[in-house]
Each structure stands twice: as structure tokens, then as C-alpha cells.
């Protein structure tokens, strides 16, 4: 089941393929965990970007502890890790929290 918090949808191992790999828009996936402080810092940043860039980018998050299959498949070793998927393929990986402006700069090529 997918839940949404401020424009950021939560996905699981079960619906990752449909929600992310099958998306027409590029999708930024935040690999997160409840115990991860920097992940919590990133939440309002991603919510703001999700609202501003809704026409060009979809943002979802997946809990690494509850969804080990997807986490292992993409070799995620640290949280937060953000991966951008376009046409079902990972095209960018960003590890660690960022301020909004810097994150948008790093996503420029994906949003172009």
C-alpha cells in the first residue's frame, strides 16, 4: 500500500516496479529509515521539491529496513541515498542530505 506525505509517496518492495520503474516521469527515490536523522532533515526539502516540480519529477521514499529486496538490488549501503530513475533505469545517485538549492542544482540535468 502506498501512503503519501506532502507529495512524497511511500513505496514498498511489492509496488516498486509499478510505482517507480513504470513511471512516465523521472522518479527520485529516497532510501530512508526511521532511525536516520539526516533522512528526517531531508523530508521537508523533498516535500517542497515535490510540490514545485510535480510536472517534471515524482518523489517517493522506501524504508530500507522494511524493504530489503529493493535496497539490496540497487546496492544501497547508506541512508539517505537518493536515486533518480528514468525509463526504469537508475540514472543518478546522491548520498547524504542536502539543502534544497544544492539538491535542485544536482537534479538540473534530470529535470531538463
Cell of 77: 549501503
The catalytic position among 39, 57, 82, 103 is: 39
Q: Show the CA angle centred on residue 64, arms to residues 45 and 3, nearest 5°.
A: 60
Contact 38, 78 (CB under 8 A): no
Q: How many domains does the chain have?
A: 1
The catalytic position among 8, 36, 82, 103 is: 36
Query: What is the per-residue pLDDT across 62-81, written as a single tens digit (0 to 9) for each?
Result: 999 999 999 999 999 999 99
Nearest C-alpha neighbor of 74 from the set 65, 63, 66, 83? 83
Residue 56 designated active-site: no
- CATH number of the domain residue 66 falls in: 3.40.30.10
Query: What is the per-residue pLDDT across 3-43, written as a single tens digit (0 to 9) for each?
Result: 555 689 999 999 999 999 999 999 999 999 999 999 999 99
Domain enclosing residue 44, as ranges:
3-111
Amino acid at each position: 500500500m502506498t501512503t503519501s506525505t506532502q507529495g512524497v509517496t511511500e513505496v514498498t518492495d511489492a509496488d516498486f516496479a509499478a510505482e517507480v520503474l513504470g513511471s512516465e516521469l523521472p522518479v527520485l527515490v529516497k532510501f530512508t529509515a526511521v532511525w536516520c536523522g539526516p533522512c528526517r532533515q531531508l523530508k521537508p526539502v523533498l516535500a517542497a521539491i515535490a510540490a514545485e516540480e510535480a510536472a517534471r519529477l515524482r518523489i517517493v521514499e522506501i524504508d530500507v529496513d522494511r524493504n530489503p529486496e529493493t535496497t539490496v538490488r540497487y546496492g544501497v549501503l547508506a541512508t539517505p541515498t537518493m536515486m533518480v530513475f528514468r525509463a526504469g533505469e537508475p540514472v543518478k545517485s546522491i548520498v547524504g542530505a542536502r539543502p534544497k538549492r544544492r539538491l535542485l542544482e544536482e537534479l538540473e540535468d534530470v529535470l531538463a
